[in-house]
Structures are given as structure tokens and as C-alpha cells.
Chains A and B, each alone.
Chain A
Amino acid sequence: MNQAMHSPWTERLSPYLDGELTDVERVALEGHLAECAACRAALDDITRIVSLAPAYQGSAPARDLWPEIAAGIDRSREIAFPPAKPAAHPRRQFSLGHLLAASVAFAVIGAGAAWLAGREPASLAAGSPAVEPAVVAVSASAKADAAYDQAVLDLASVLAQGRGRLDTATVRVIEDNLAIIDRAIAEARAAIAKDPANGYLNSQVAANRRRKLDLLRRAADAVTASAS
């Protein structure tokens, strides 16, 4: 017997697998399956296709896309520091223009977080294409929080030990920016305490923690580079 002769039954195999047949249809199909090896084989094949589909790993792109993605991630960062260069002078100096621009950005973030705390969540989505609707709060594991806190402590320690190698103006701007970030995080957390489900505020806390870590890493890199 060929496939076509079984077409009415074959058409029911997939709905049968998903439990979509009526009781009458199901009983009729099961009666047919008991007698038809070809349809049983077809059902087995479809069952295996369905069971294997979720685990299919796909195939990687023909070339490595990571360089472009990394470049895109760098562009998406709000702070752009110049790459660390070998120390030409005993003390490292960041471009003050970069750091001052960052401090303005941080001040806006901090003020914005507090301002948004007083608004209805629905208003965040309207007219604000950069805000995703229905975002959920970040709930980092305690282990991840500990890892973050340790990373901050380690980097802050490097900066504290090596601050003498940095230009005083640079050190002041770094410390001012760290204070601005910490203030923005504190303001957002205070606002979250009043509105725990506000996904935007939670995302701002996560984003500002990321910025703090990034700033500390850059500063630590500069300290390390100045020692070489």
C-alpha cells in the first residue's frame, strides 16, 4: 500500500499526537493503527521529529560574527574611554572631556530614575521608543551579587593603591563619577522600594552597576598601565 491510500489517516496523525482529535476520531485512528504498520511507522517518525526538534542546535554562521558584535556592544556603551596606552608619563590622565561627559550622563541617569519613580508605569511605554513595555525586575542571585561586590572591592583596591600614579584631576573626576553612580543607584533603589515591579528602575540599577564596574575596570587598567 502506498502513502496516498492512507491519506485520510495520515492527516490525523499529527493532531492525534497533540491530543486534538475527538474521542470518536481517536478511537477510529487507534483501531486503524493497530492494523496498519505503515501508519504506525509514520506516527513514530512524526513523534521523533517533534521530540528532536527542540534540541536542534542549528548551524553556526559561515564566519565568526563576534568581532562585529563586540564592536556594536562598544558603541552601545554610554561611556567611551580611549583604550589604555603605554604610559608616556609617570602619571596617567584620562581625557577630561570624556570623563566630564560621562559625569553629565550619570547625573541625568540619577535624576531620571528619581523622576520616573513618581510616574505611572504605563506612561513609560507611551511615546518612549527606547523603553521596552512590560520589562521585569532584575533578580540577581545572591551568588552573583557577591561576585559583583567582590569585583568592585578588588578594583577599588587597585585604584586606591595606585591613585598616586594618576593625575589628580583624573582621580577627582573618577571619584566624582563613582559618587554620581552610587547616588543614582541609591535613588533608583529608593524608588524601587515604593514601586518594586517597576522594571525600568530595576534595569537602571543593573545598568548603573554595570557602568560602575566598567569605570573601575578602566581606572584599574590605567593604574596598571602606568606602572609598566
Chain B
Amino acid sequence: MPDRSNAAPGDGIQLVDTMLPDGEGLGMTAAALPVHAEQTDVALAVRGDGAAFERLYRAHVARVNALARWLLGGDDVEDAVQEVFIRVWEKLGTYSGDAAFGTWLHRVAVNHFLRRRERRSVDHGRTSEADQAMDSAAAPRATPVLRIAIERAVGQLPARARDVFVLHDMEGYKHEEIAGMLAIDPGTSRSQLHRARLLLRQQLTS
């Protein structure tokens, strides 16, 4: 990594240092259960333990809610989040344990949100990219400032760039997978990702 010790002050770099600390204040500290406890709860939930499933819900709902807001938006985010967890409950028998539970859960959520979005676009006609901006005013008031900043920044990305950034950088999908999910070319996925990262950087330093 090139040395930036001669960076000029006042050009936005110091603001980035402030806006992007090492993870504290951005909701980066894991609210999730310790791994061992989560594995136990998953095993219990597979066998029908509702209390264990509720613990899993509380550990993962924030991230699933953010995914819903970014990928789906609109007034049906809460309904979609509820549907995901009910669907996860029903599909617990298919969880093999090969991937982390959160990874598996997020994949179920992403697939559900994209299918729901597709159904919505079929029912209501294709919306323009401008119409798909997230309602950032719905962000919880009690959320720390930095969490609002990153959530709003992602929410204000153009729709396609936001989709690719969320799927690639947040959820870990490969460009070839994203291309299939969004019906675009892998090259388009790459260019949209690069666009998203630059725009995020601009928003977070502005």
C-alpha cells in the first residue's frame, strides 16, 4: 500500500478518517451470538425450538432489514423481512451446516428479496432507476450518526450500482453469480461495482 504520509490536509482525507474509523460506531461490532452459542441455537431451532429461533432472529434481523431496504425498498420492507424469517424457519431442515448460518440466511434473504422485487416490477411495471432510491428518512432516529451515514450512502446509490455493491462487497457473491441474479453481463456487474465504490467514497467524504 503506497505511503500517504504527505497527504494534504483539508482535501477530504481527514474527513474519511473520521467517517470510517476501525469499525466502532458503524455497527461493525458483532451483535450476533458467539459462534458456539449460535450453532447450538441452530441445532435447537432445527428441532423446533422457537426460543432458539427467536435468538437467531434477534442476532440477524438488523442485517436482513438493511438488505431488504437496499434491495427492495418501498413500503413492504417489514413484510418482506417477516417472510424471510418464516421462510428460514420452514427451510431449516435444508440447512446443511457447510456454510455459516448467517451466510445461508443471507442467501435465502437475498433470493427472496430479488424474487419479490421481480414480482413487484411485473405487477406494477418497471420503475426507473431514479424511482428506486431508498427512503433514507425511514432510518431509525436512535441509530448512531455513522451508521446512518453508511446506510444512507448505500441507499442513495443508483439502483443497479447499489444492487451490485450489496451483493458483491457485502454479501460476497461473485460477478458471474450477480450477473445471473440481476440478468446483466459480468462486465456490467464489474463496472457498476467500481461506480458504486467511487460514489460511496464521494458521499462519505462530502
Contact = CB atoms under 8 A, between A and B. Distances in A.
Interface of A: 3, 10-11, 13-15, 18, 20, 30, 33-34, 37-38, 40-50, 52-63, 65-66, 68-70, 72-73, 76, 132, 135-141, 143-144, 147-148, 151, 199, 202-207, 209-211, 213-214, 217
Contacts of A62: 138, 140
Given A37-B4, A37-B6, A136-B96, A56 B65 contact: no
Contact of A61 (B26, B61, B94, B190): B61
B176 to A, nearest CB: 14
Interface stretch (B39-47, B112-120, B123-131, B177-185): B39-47
Contacts, number: 200
A213 to B, nearest CB: 5
Contact of A56 (B11, B39, B66, B92): B66
Contact of A69 (B8, B82, B202): B82
A58 B54 contact: no
Contacts of B61: 60-61, 65
Given A61-B61, A138-B96, A139-B97, A69 B86 contact: yes
B98 interface: yes
Tell me what chain B mostly uses at the interface: helix, strand, loop, or mixed.
helix
A60 B140 contact: yes
Given A138-B93, A144-B43, A59 B143 contact: yes
B100 to A, nearest CB: 12
Given A44-B1, A138-B46, A147-B43, A57 B62 contact: yes
B8 A37 contact: yes
Contacts of B29: 57
Given A135-B94, A213-B47, A214-B48, A41 B4 contact: yes
B85 A69 contact: yes
Given A14-B197, A147-B43, A210-B47, A59 B2 contact: no
B169 interface: yes
B66 A58 contact: yes
A45 B15 CA distance: 10
Nearest to B11: A38
A13 B198 CA distance: 9
B107 interface: no
B147 A207 contact: no
A10 B197 CA distance: 11
B33 interface: no
Nearest to B138: A62
A49 B28 CA distance: 12
A33 B39 CA distance: 45
B198 A11 contact: yes
Given A14-B197, A56-B150, A60-B65, 8 more contacts: A44-B4, A52-B26, A69-B86, A72-B85, A73-B86, A141-B97, A144-B46, A217-B48
Nearest to A62: B140
The 5 A-B residue pairs with the shortest CB-CB distance, nearest first, are A58-B66, A144-B43, A206-B93, A14-B194, A203-B93
A43 B172 CA distance: 20
A48 B21 CA distance: 9
Interface in B1-37: 1-4, 6-8, 11-13, 16, 20, 23, 26-32
29 contacts: A37-B8, A38-B7, A38-B8, A41-B12, A44-B1, A52-B20, A52-B28, A55-B23, A56-B28, A57-B28, A58-B62, A58-B63, A58-B65, A58-B67, A62-B138, A66-B57, A69-B86, A69-B89, A72-B86, A73-B86, A76-B86, A76-B89, A76-B90, A132-B91, A135-B94, A138-B46, A141-B97, A144-B43, A199-B94
